[in-house]
């Protein structure tokens, strides 16, 4: 730390990274990808954003720029060898910055209601736009993706339905539990379940981003997307039952 930094109380990159390492959210209910890939990468981005003088809201907008860049390529570009890696990198980077904004807010002493609102609205917009982009790709390029049968267009619509209801249901459950003050019993928290962390991988956004590596492969992407869509549809009722029971007990 330089003399000026010490006088201003500004953390170095390493100090910011160390402080962030000790201020992580609980790993309960988090998949292995988010726990061991997205959060650590987001931590580095949060420390870098702190040193760059960015605010959490600005980091949220950076996340949106990367994500919507990948979404635009998905909808507009013909499948080619480069489209998959480019889209995956853009989406994965956007997802990492999505983790960084909350971590940066905690580093700076806590977020604001407006920042939380912006984060959730952007998340909802990204999810809606991404599945809409896939729908457009299937509609505009049926030969490349093997979607000549119009019923295939129901796939991204169904996937979008499951994703949005899951997103809204989980968010509302969290808010209602917070409002009710049902933070759980006092005492040390139970260690996160490895089995649950593995089981959540099919509905983790980071794993969803990975399937876009197959975008240039046409029909291979279609089947990978369909597999994750089936997982989202299967998990949705289980999530809804779980959340309803939690709120009923609260």
Q: How many domains does the chain have?
A: 1
User: Taking a C-beta distance cutoff of 8 angstroms, is the pair 207, 201 a contact?
Assistant: yes
- What's the pTM value of the predicted model, to 2 decimals? 0.91
Within-domain flag for 200: yes
Terminal-to-terminal C-alpha distance of the chain: 47
Q: If you write DSSP's letter for every residue of 86-105 in order, what string do you get?
A: HHHHHHHHHHHHHHHHHHHH
Largest CA distance in the chain: 67
Sign of CA dihedral 163, 210, 74, 234: negative
Within-domain flag for 128: yes
Reported in sequence order, the residue ranges of the chain that DSSP labels E, i.e. its strands, are none
The pLDDT of residue 1 is 47
Instruction: Kindly list the distances between the CA atom of residue 65 and the CA atoms of 44, 59, 61, 123, 149, in Å, as whole numbers in the listed order.
Output: 19, 10, 6, 12, 33
The pLDDT of residue 25 is 72
Each residue's pLDDT tens digit, 94-146 = 999 999 999 999 998 877 899 999 999 999 999 999 999 999 999 999 999 99
Round to whole Å and give the CA distance between 34 and 17. 18
Within-domain flag for 216: yes
Q: Where residue 75 sits, what CATH number does that domain have?
A: 1.20.120.1760
Q: If you write DSSP's letter for every residue of 132-143 in order, what string do you get?
A: HHHHHHHHH-HH
Within-domain flag for 78: yes
The pLDDT of residue 65 is 98
Within-domain flag for 183: no
Within-domain flag for 182: no
24, HSE (Cβ side, Cα atoms, 13 Å): 19
Within-domain flag for 229: yes
Round to whole Å and give the CA distance between 69 and 92. 11
The pLDDT of residue 191 is 73
Range of the domain at 239: 3-177+194-249
Q: Which residues of the chain have pLDDT under 70?
A: 1-9, 182-190, 250
Within-domain flag for 107: yes
């Amino acid at each position: 730390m330089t003399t000026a930094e010490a006088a201003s109380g500004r953390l170095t990159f390493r100090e910011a990274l160390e402080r962030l390492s000790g201020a992580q959210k609980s790993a309960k209910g988090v998949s292995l990808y988010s726990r061991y890939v997205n959060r650590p990468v987001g931590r580095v981005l949060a420390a870098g954003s702190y040193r760059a003088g960015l605010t959490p809201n600005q980091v949220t907008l950076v996340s949106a720029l990367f994500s919507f860049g990948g979404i635009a390529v998905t909808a507009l570009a013909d499948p080619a060898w480069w489209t998959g890696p480019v889209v995956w990198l853009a989406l994965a980077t956007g997802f990492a910055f999505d983790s960084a904004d909350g971590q940066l807010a905690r580093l700076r002493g806590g977020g604001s209601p407006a920042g939380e609102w912006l984060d959730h609205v952007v998340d909802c917009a990204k999810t809606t736009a991404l599945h809409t982009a896939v729908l457009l790709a299937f509609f505009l390029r049926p030969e490349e993706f093997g979607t000549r049968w119009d019923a295939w267009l129901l796939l991204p619509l169904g996937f979008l339905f499951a994703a949005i209801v899951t997103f809204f249901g989980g968010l509302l459950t969290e808010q209602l539990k917070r409002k009710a003050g049902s933070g759980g019993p006092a005492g040390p928290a139970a260690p996160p379940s490895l089995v649950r962390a593995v089981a959540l991988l099919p509905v983790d956004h980071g794993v969803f981003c990975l399937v876009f590596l197959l975008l240039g492969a046409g029909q291979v992407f279609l089947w990978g997307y369909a597999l994750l869509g089936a997982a989202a549809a299967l998990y949705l009722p289980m999530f809804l039952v779980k959340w309803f029971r939690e709120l009923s007990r609260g």
